[in-house]
Amino acid sequence: MSATTFLGDSAVLTGRTLRHITRSLDTIITTAIMPIALMLMFVYVFGGAIDTGPVSYIDYMLPGILLITVASGISYTAFRLFMDLKSGIFERFQSMPIARSGVLWAHVLTSLAANLISLVIVVGVALLMGFRTGAGALAWLAVAGILLLFTLMLTWVAVIPGLTASTVEGAGAFAYPLLFLPFVSSAFVPTETMPGPVRWFAEHQPVTPIVNTIRALFAGEPVGGDVWIALGWCAGLLVVAYAFAMAAYRRKIA
């Protein structure tokens, strides 16, 4: 099947899943509510007790909130995929002359679009709360690129339980550990304040270099080696997740 056919089929199928999003905007609002609630709580309740030096706390913790926004949003990808499987739509698509992988890519592209809207909402609220950045256009593009890669990686992770879960609850439950990771990272407090084993974990898991890179870009500071570690984590996990997701998909439609 040609690349043109694949792109055309994926575009049509993406339009279908996007229409589902526009008909239930409450999913996007729900995705944004939890990160916004966390942001309000940390800034106005805990922020005064956390020493982040000359950096205001809202500026310090926003990168972590953005990652939590994505992590909470991709659970809906697993849910939508699971519901499509249970409805029998996959079997109907298989009887049509369309690119089979286009079905998965439609859900992935829809996830990117939905999470982009949620991220814009969260950043807008952060600006109202006092978030300020000296980042130029290139820095904002770099932040957008990192968030896009992070969202793409987590979305392909979400595809796996969406295809393999036996219940709708199981399809979305995988997101809970992902939501927990930013809390054991540099997202909300400096890792130097953590006890030894916790600090080691925080400094050697993927969220910390991603948060540090976005924070440096927002502050207009050099990103150092964190950017390469962040990109390495995202790209490596993306390749692994994509391979497992496609293997699960081939088994499902065999």
Could you tell me which residues come within 8 angstroms of residue 79 by beta carbon, excluding any fewer than 6 positions away?
Answer: 162, 168, 171, 172
Q: Is the pLDDT of residue 25 over 70?
A: no
Is the C-alpha dihedral spanning 133, 135, 140, 143 positive or negative? negative
- Mean local confidence (pLDDT), 120-134: 92
**Tens digit of each residue's pLDDT (9 = 90 or more) over 187-207:** 998 888 899 899 999 999 999
∠ CA 115-121-124, nearest 5°, is: 140
Instruction: Collect all residues with Cβ–Cβ distance below 8 Å to 173 and sequence separation of at least 6.
Output: 161
> Cα–Cα distance between 17 and 107 in angstroms, integer?
7
252/100 Cα distance (integer angstroms): 12
> pTM of the entire structure?
0.87
In this structure, of 13-22, 48-57, 72-81, the range with the lowest mean pLDDT score is 13-22
Q: Is the pLDDT of residue 20 over 80?
A: no
